[in-house]
Structure 1
Amino acid sequence: MDTNSAIAALSALSQSTRLAIFRLLVRHEPDGLPAGDVARHLDMPQNTISTHLAILTRAGLLSAQRHSRQIVYRACLSRLRELMLFLVKDCCAGSPELCAPLIATLSSCCPSPESCS
């Protein structure tokens, strides 16, 4: 992940509704949720949710797949993993062993990058 991609992802998550959407979709992995269900879970109008879903999708944090008349959104866990690893890549002032448990957990907890296409 490069700096601009990290900034785009962090910017997308820096708004409370988008953060709530992303966390909701993480809880509903691997099946995801249709946009209407996301709106119902968060008790918000669907057009408002659609705007936020689009921003998260452009940032690479969500994937969308059409199923008949519905669009099902899924959290891109591999992208989240890339973002977290980017944030801690150079941590601990030259003592990477301090961050090794965190990096190992992040490396093993989420699917491979190919999982969110």
Structure 2
Amino acid sequence: MIQSITLISPVVIANFSATWCGPCKIVAPFYVELSEKHPSLMFLLVDVDELSDFSSTWDIKATPTFFFLKNGEQIGKLVGANKPELQKKVTSILDSVPESPQRP
């Protein structure tokens, strides 16, 4: 699944969360804001309850858990609703990825 996603964007940030998760609800607007600010990155939202089999293959122990992927390879992981750390990781990824044209 990730292989086909990387054809669209070389960098994917996957947010594994749940509708009942308080910290997930708190960080959700910030995650949306990041996705709007950085259209060259692909931001995914994975509901661990709706996609439980898929989530278990990623060994999710807590929500939210963010995975950072570049060209299909995991380059980072963040567990918890830590907005400053999430921003820091996104900035770090942007600094390491060459500038590419924005999607329409």
More helix by share: 1
TM-score by length of 1: 0.27
More strand by share: 2
Higher-Rg structure is 1
TM-score by length of 2: 0.29
**Taking CA–CA contacts closer than 8 Å with sequence separation of 6 or more, which of the two structures ends up with the larger relative contact order?**
2
